[in-house]
Structure 1
Amino acid sequence: METINMQKTMARLIKNKIAKVLTCSISLILGSTTLSYAAVIPPNVQLADKQEITRNNFSEPGSLDP
């Protein structure tokens, strides 16, 4: 009788653990995805042929050490 109760308890714990893992996995996947939207460009706007982003124009020092 005690063995059956132990098996039921273990089965319940495993089911709860699987549910927790699935819930955490789904929330991590959905939480880590970022929603990206394209910019709405008004009509008659001329865009540059080459789009560039300048991240560092060397105005900041490379190091704070003297």
Structure 2
Amino acid sequence: MLIIIALLWCKKDIRDSFYQLIKTFFHKQILTVLGFAVVWTSICIVLFYEIGVWSTDNLKTTLVWVIT
């Protein structure tokens, strides 16, 4: 896998596309939406924890769900 990545990294057009992808991901509007999603999820987790529906045993599942 690393060999393939290294070979692709040598091609300027692929490298430039990757930089553009990273630049686009860190655009203010995208980060704002992702930030709201994290805040909303955090509020839900705290509320569910307080009413006894969510526990720290669910942390791994919750993180996988949020990331995907």
TM-score over 0.5 for the pair: no
Q: Which one has the largest radius of gyration?
A: 1
Range class of TM-score, shorter chain = 0.3 to 0.5
How high is the TM-score relative to the length of structure 1? 0.35
